[in-house]
Chains A and B, each alone.
Chain A
Amino acid sequence: MVMISPSSGHSTAIELSAVSRQYSMGNATVHAVDEVSFAIPRGDFAALLGPSGSGKSTLLNLIAGLDRPTSGAIVVNGRDLATLDPTELARYRRNAVGMIFQSFNLVPSMTLAENIELPMRFAEVERGERAQRAAELLAKVGLGNRAHHRPAELSGGEQQRGAIARALVNRPPLLLADEPTGNLDSHTGQEIMDLIVELNSSLGVTIVMVTHEQALADKYARRALHMADGRLVNVVGEVAR
């Protein structure tokens, strides 16, 4: 197990201290995430690598505030997620973190523009501003002319670009990507990765990407955290100390 000493400070985006997540399966206890500690600085691009079942997606869900750890502490931008009640945790997901998924997860009954506006509805952004922000982001991801199409009318790459726009619409400092290129061909996957890297460098958004492709991590991430059986087993690249 590789332990990276967590260090607090304003430059740290994510800090995990001995985070575990266990599930009960019948009589057995599954250690999906086991005593994981690391810290990621702001503006970083980190890849969480590992085979299926290694716990990387579970860890991402914990950082996203979709799940709570069985033990340990997760501090994101100075906020300890364990201290947040369900409503505060929802607010955290709304404003402090953006998520993109392997299967895009756009709402099929809504147009692309409506999908992008959805997180802003939860954040109670005024209608006029919503439309303006959605249009800006759609232009940024190159989908200005696809705003009124439904997801079924878009290609996989377009859907994922739309999902990226949606993830960033409430201007979160942290973007979590779960296998963002998993459902895309290599060419489209590369386009999406280029977009993510561009957002990382132009907006300074901290990125944590789950992938099982070593090549993708090598090419784009500044740091690679390898997981196996729920544990952090190796870290490649510069680590925050």
Chain B
Amino acid sequence: MKSYDLLDLAVRNVRNSRLRNLLTTVGIAVGVASLVAMLSLGIGLQTLANKRLKKSGIFETVFVTSRTDFRNADRQPNEEEKPEENPPLDDNARRQIEKLPNVAEVVPEIRAMGEIEYAGKTHASFVAALPPSAKDDDGMASLKGSFFSSANANEVLVQQDFAKRLEPTATNLIGKDITVRYAERKATTDDPSGSGFSITRTERTFRVVGIIEEEPFGGMRMISRARVFFPTAVAEQMNLMQMADTQQMMKAGPQSKVYTMLTVKVINSTKAEEVQDAIKKMKFGTYSFLDATKNVRRFFAIFDGFLGIFGSLALAVASLAIVNTLVMAVLERRREIGIMKALGASDIDVKKLFFAEAAAMGAAGGVLGVLLGWGMGRVINAGTNVWLARNKFPPENFWYVPWWLVLAAIAFAIAVSILSGLYPASRAAKLDPVQALRYE
């Protein structure tokens, strides 16, 4: 039998038992809707998390430290420090890392204690450098005022809570000048070993151009959460006394200026691992969030799997309804099946006809289910956003139905329906035409 005839007969048969088949189709639709609802929730949450993390630049960042760094986990206790095994994280290393393929930017992590003077009062705070790329970071979404006008601008951004300590209305600080006092590292020329430097109290005035809610991502903040931020190029000129300087000072022999940490931005998160490996080969300690997110991604895969299983339960129940409907149809249409066989329908034709009927119900249920699931998602999303708004949270879209899910859900509904049609179809095909024709 030709496909269009098969489909025509199947649709006609489905229409003939309208109520029963409609109920079965609605059953499939509810199953598909629950599957779509569950999976789109999982996918939505994952997308939201990824978007947040991606926007923060976290996946494109590799942190580089010297293996002799006091924080470095790679360092074994009592490990003998061989210079060739532990190269210094200096300008030379920075240039080498910059030359690596897929590296977009290498900036030093500059962070130090400072004292801020404003309106005759002084406040202690950590100060830190922000590279030009920080402009696109997620943290800048809350920026009031503007970002640094240039890479060398004598400007600062101030964290909102700290700004409130200076000015009760934080935004009033924008356009005002603040004085920053800090410890400046100055190399001494009279030290024959070349390792000496002096620390000088220096002060410099900056114009506040913007207020930000939180420190944007870009450094290993830990306890030293900074409140005032300069452009990286300015911070480098300032020669802020760094933790690495203290450590370096204690080493014997000639020493060059070293970095506490370099933050490497790669062009694309997929290249982060490659860049990380290349830097490891240069014998530096590295850390990237890809390491941590491997577990997160595994969690989401398992989470989606569970949601899919729970969502499929309703579809499994619906599949039993399909079996029931089709078995009933076989019983009711025994005589018709006998007539068809007497007229020359083969067992395969009969089997295909029942499969086509199951598939037709599956397709209709699938489409209906996707619409229902999508609608449910919109309603729940809207409801949750009302709740979020009441609790003064910004609205979120944690419900995401990608195209592949729409197509996969319909295909899955059809596949499950055809599978459910296996038994009834084979029962119909096996009917003895002589017996079937006698059936009243």
Contacts and interface: CB of A to CB of B under 8 A. Distances in A.
Contacts of A95: 344
A121 B1 contact: yes
Contacts of A109: 12-13, 16
A93 B342 contact: yes
Nearest to A95: B344
Given A95-B344, A107-B336, A107-B339, A66 B2 contact: no
B347 to A, nearest CB: 6
Contact of B344 (A61, A91, A110): A91
Given A61-B434, A109-B16, A122 B344 contact: yes
A236 interface: no
Question: Which residue, of B335, B342, B348, B433, has the highest number of chain A Cβ atoms within 10 A?
Answer: B342
13 contacts: A66-B433, A67-B434, A91-B344, A93-B341, A93-B342, A94-B343, A94-B345, A99-B343, A105-B437, A121-B5, A122-B1, A122-B343, A122-B349
B342 A90 contact: no
Contacts of A230: none
Nearest to B440: A103
Contacts of A38: none
Given A93-B344, A94-B343, 10 more contacts: A87-B346, A99-B343, A105-B437, A109-B12, A110-B12, A122-B344, A122-B345, A123-B344, A124-B2, A170-B344
Contacts, number: 67
Contacts of A91: 344, 346
Given A121-B1, A124-B2, A66 B342 contact: yes
Interface of A: 61, 64, 66-67, 86-87, 90-91, 93-95, 99, 101, 105-107, 109-110, 118-119, 121-124, 166, 170
Contact of A90 (B5, B335, B346): B346
Interface of B: 1-2, 5, 9, 12-13, 16, 335-336, 338-349, 432-434, 437
A58 to B, nearest CB: 8
Which 6 residue pairs across A and B have the least CB separation, nearest first?
A: A94-B344, A90-B346, A119-B343, A122-B344, A121-B5, A93-B344
B341 A90 contact: yes
Contacts of A118: 340, 343
B344 A64 contact: no
A109 B341 CA distance: 17
Given A66-B434, A67-B434, A105-B335, A124 B343 contact: no
Given A109-B12, A121-B1, A93 B343 contact: yes
Contact of B342 (A99, A110, A123): A99
Contacts of B434: 61, 66-67
A124 B1 contact: yes
Contacts of B346: 86-87, 90-91, 122
Contacts of A107: 336, 339
Nearest to A105: B339
A86 B12 CA distance: 27
Contacts of A105: 335, 338-339, 342, 437
A166 B336 CA distance: 15
A86 B347 contact: yes
